[in-house]
Structure 1
Amino acid sequence: MVEVFKTDVKDQRQAKRLIDQIHELFSDYTANFDLEDCDKILRIKSASGNVETCFVITILRDFGFHAEVLPDDDLACA
């Protein structure tokens, strides 16, 4: 399962810190940021099932960032 989040993370140092925290808490997740995207995308893939979206959003909020799940449809790009 892959989940994509829109965030307000701005630099690579912040992104690395968040990825390290996510990987520490969820060993079956693979996380990465696309900070070049206008939505500062956080992409998380779970090897064992669903991504705990509320918990991921809480982690980012605890570090002072905003995150929201991006819709799964292509209408947002129209």
Structure 2
Amino acid sequence: METKREAELILYIVSKEVSNCKVNFDLEDCDNILRVESEKCLDKDITDCMVKLGYICEKLD
């Protein structure tokens, strides 16, 4: 992730592509952690969306 603006664009796209979730980035972390809150499991949806945008994404436990 290069800029805060890039992060904002990704958050906008993910929130439009994957419904019923809250997303944000921890840009202070060197790995730019994307956090997702949802009542249902959206792992595949989030991962697919990020891959379409050209990013590597994996679930952290």
Give the TM-score range, shorter chain.
0.7 to 0.9
What does residue 28 of structure 1 align with? 20
Contact kept? 1:32, 1:42, Cα under 8 Å: yes
Letter in 2 for 1:15: A
What does residue 44 of structure 2 align with? 54
- Deviation of the 1:14 alpha carbon: 1.7
Spell out, residue by residue over 1:5-57, the C-alpha distance to the aligned partner (whole angstroms, 9 max, x if none): xxxx33212211111112212342110001110221100111xx223111111
SS of structure 1 residue aligned to 2:58: strand
The sequence identity of aligned pairs, in percent, is 30
Hey, which bits of structure 1, 4+ residues long, moved more than 2 A?
Answer: none
| C-alpha RMSD of the superposition | 1.5
Contact kept? 1:11, 1:35, Cα under 8 Å: no
Structure 2 residue runs of 5 or longer lacking an equivalent are none
TM-score by length of 2: 0.81
Q: Going by fraction, where is strand more abundant, 1 or 2?
A: 1
Counterpart Cα distance in 2 of 1:28 and 1:16: 18
Structure 1 residue runs of 5 or longer lacking an equivalent are 1-8, 72-78
